[in-house]
């Protein structure tokens, strides 16, 4: 059951006439060493992002197949990507990021986890010219698109995704969605302030302010991904928005069991966060069958 605070925020979002402006991220590419370290810690196993990573991992697992070649746009320190790669050992993943600091962390993590199905490259996600048309089986991206400077850059990124993806390819692009009221943005950003470093809370605040609106995603989905991906968001307030293709494999009992074991291993407060995220996305039309 969502907390009273969350319900209050949702009510405000539904009733407010405010339209908070989008404020570009102070760090478009994340290369400040302290911020990179705070972000990496928050995403490590047991970190504050564990339930969100598990949710996205279960979504990605539905759209990738063994033997696929998959791009992860803006992989950062690869905490998310490593989890997906570990559960899909017969799928080949390439993580792209512009930040050398992030890529260094990602490489260290891949070595630490012994992942041989993962390689990393410095690249700009708005220019995928290194990849020919229809050359990849699936594309994933988590919590990255709000780093792009403007709608034109977002448009270039989505049109590049449409170009490199094979017909019938898998897609899961998820990011924050822009909230209407600055107070709601602050409520979400400070929700876990007592559990995480201040630098990470501030990073979250800037991310929410920089998020694109659900309507921006809808326009681009219509322009570039019609029939290839559907647009979903969390119910009532689109604080998260996802573009997802149809599932490309039947739920495998082994994979399902591993994901559910990971969920069961989360501490109680993270299990509650995962349950909230699942509920708000399910009510928004996006279920997560691999999580049970």
- Applying CB under 6 A, the residues found at the interface with ligand SAM are 28-30, 43, 74-76, 79-80, 96-99, 102, 124-126, 142-144, 147
CB nearer to ligand SAM: give 10 or 120: 120
The residue number with the shortest CB distance to ligand SAM is 76
- Smallest distance, Å, CB 127 to ligand SAM? 8
Give the distance, in angstroms, between the CA of residue 263 and the centroid of all CA atoms in the same chain.
Answer: 18
Which tokens is 197 given?
Answer: 């470093």
- Smallest distance, Å, CB 62 to ligand SAM? 17
- Smallest distance, Å, CB 113 to ligand SAM? 15
- Smallest distance, Å, CB 174 to ligand SAM? 9
CB nearer to ligand SAM: give 37 or 236: 37
Cα–Cα separations (whole angstroms), residue 93 to 24, 58, 247? 29, 16, 18
- Smallest distance, Å, CB 61 to ligand SAM? 15
CA distance 44 to 80: 9
Residues of 4-27 as b/e, b for ≥16 C-beta within 10 angstroms? eebeebbebbeeeeeebeeeebee
149 in Cβ contact with 156 (< 8 Å): no
CB nearer to ligand SAM: give 8 or 156: 156
User: 181: closest CA among 24, 3, 25, 10?
Assistant: 10
CB nearer to ligand SAM: give 18 or 150: 150
CB nearer to ligand SAM: give 10 or 55: 55
- Smallest distance, Å, CB 175 to ligand SAM? 9
CA distance 274 to 50: 9
Which tokens is 8 given?
Answer: 């209050």
CB nearer to ligand SAM: give 96 or 136: 96
CB nearer to ligand SAM: give 10 or 158: 158
CB nearer to ligand SAM: give 204 or 280: 204
CA distance 264 to 292: 11
- Smallest distance, Å, CB 66 to ligand SAM? 23
CA distance 36 to 21: 26
- Smallest distance, Å, CB 250 to ligand SAM? 26
């Amino acid at each position: 059951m969502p907390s009273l605070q969350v319900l209050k925020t949702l009510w405000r979002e539904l009733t407010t006439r405010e339209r908070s402006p989008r404020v570009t991220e102070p760090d478009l590419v994340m290369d400040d060493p302290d911020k990179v370290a705070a972000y990496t810690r928050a995403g490590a196993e047991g970190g504050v992002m564990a339930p969100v990573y598990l949710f996205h991992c279960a979504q990605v697992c539905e759209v990738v197949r063994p033997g696929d070649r998959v791009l992860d746009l803006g992989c950062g320190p690869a905490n998310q990507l490593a989890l997906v790669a570990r559960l899909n050992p017969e799928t080949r993943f390439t993580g792209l990021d512009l930040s050398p600091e992030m890529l260094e962390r990602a490489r260290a993590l891949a070595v630490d986890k012994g992942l041989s199905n993962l390689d990393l490259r410095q690249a700009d996600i708005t220019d995928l010219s290194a990849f020919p048309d229809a050359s990849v089986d699936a594309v994933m991206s988590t919590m990255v698109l709000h780093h792009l400077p403007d709608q034109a850059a977002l448009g270039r990124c989505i049109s590049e995704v449409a170009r490199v993806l094979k017909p019938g390819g898998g897609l899961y692009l998820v990011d924050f969605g822009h909230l209407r009221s600055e107070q709601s943005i602050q409520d979400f950003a400070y929700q876990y302030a007592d559990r995480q470093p201040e630098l990470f809370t501030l990073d979250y605040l800037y991310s929410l302010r920089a998020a694109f609106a659900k309507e921006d995603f809808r326009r681009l989905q219509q322009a570039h991904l019609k029939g290839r991906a559907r647009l979903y968001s969390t119910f009532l307030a689109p604080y998260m928005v996802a573009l997802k293709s149809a599932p490309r494999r039947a739920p495998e009992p082994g994979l399902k069991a591993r994901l559910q074991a990971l969920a069961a291993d989360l501490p109680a407060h993270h299990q509650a966060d995962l349950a909230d995220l699942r509920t708000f996305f399910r009510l928004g039309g996006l279920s997560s069958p691999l999580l049970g």
